[in-house]
Chain A
């Protein structure tokens, strides 16, 4: 009854800053970045991307407590670029990778649909036809009443 709302784990509330950069006073070109309402999904990925960049000397992240919805990212660079800029660059690279990935998925799905849509190839296999098409709607019938509208899944 006193439990906080579960959505507080991932929704940024009024007055909260999603990203806070704290420059390190003892280590040169280093910063600690606190990212609110994000978890290992983003933390680990940013860390990995930063480590591929030659300007980065150190990158590490931690989620200090599983009940506290934020993670901390520590970055040290070689001085040719500031830690917050290198983070921004890492984010852009990841967004780039994801958009290529998205277009690859689109391409692959369109090829699969040209082949006769979901399940066509395997349903033809015979023995497994039922298990491959658990909802029995078949490849050709789809559309209107079916729930998995294939290519028109976002078409309104």
Chain B
């Protein structure tokens, strides 16, 4: 039977869909791929040139790493350093440079935010070989999500007072969330099946009344509740899955969902080719 798909809600950074006629294993693998297998870019190496803020270097570096950066079309726009011909030198094909330099000269508390991160031209031109990656990048590729957009609040990195300064140089690298969660394009993936618990894959703890203490969620409207006299069907299998994918903005929700099928099929291809 062919899978049936229905998108219930779709926004730039979020998509809610119902998937039917697939196996639980398939639906769960889909979820796993969205969370951990899609490449994005993030700040990976930081040189702290000056830090007179109240936060220690490591603290700030960690915060910088977590800033979501625009990663549209990441597959074609940047290489992994480990696959690059520069042999770990971090050239323009496998990295980007973001800098941040903020000093407070007034008697105020100043916010250092992701808006202060500036993209710099790459000093290490790639080796003479052809590399199309840089031209495939969108205008804002590698910049913090929402930078220069007055409607988006920037991400606070730290606060400084008069006389304090923060100056850092960051290398942006491509990676996946299996290496570090900062590379995950998703901030949350909700996954549900069998909202009435007809399959008894779980048992609810309760004080006095199970039904009153475990109110039904939105997805319960999609399925018939079990009747009082209905016998337990121990052969039944889950068949309808409810997803809600929310991204951090590095990739759009559509790109996440579309890339899953690709990424996923390629790992099966590997398994297939080698087994025969």
Contacts and interface: CB of A to CB of B under 8 A. Distances in A.
A136 B151 contact: yes
A48 to B, nearest CB: 4
Contacts of B2: 100
Interface string B22-47: 11111011001100110000000000
Interface size class of B (residues with CB under 8 A): 35 or more
A75 to B, nearest CB: 10
Q: Is the interface of A mostly helix, strand, loop or mixed?
A: helix
B146 interface: yes
B249 interface: yes
Contact of A147 (B10, B22, B145, B265): B145
B72 to A, nearest CB: 6
Interface string B1-31: 0111111011111000100001111101100
Contacts of B12: 118-119, 135, 137, 142, 146-148, 150
Interface residues of A, number: 64
A97 interface: yes
Interface of B: 2-7, 9-13, 17, 22-26, 28-29, 32-33, 36-37, 70, 72-73, 76, 80, 82, 136, 138-140, 145-146, 148-149, 151-152, 175-176, 178-180, 249, 252-255, 257-258, 261-262, 264-265, 267-272, 274-276
Interface of A: 6-7, 9-11, 17-19, 21, 33, 35, 38, 40-42, 44-49, 52, 84-85, 87-88, 91-92, 94-95, 97-102, 104-106, 108-109, 111-112, 118-119, 121-122, 132-137, 142, 144-150, 153-154, 156
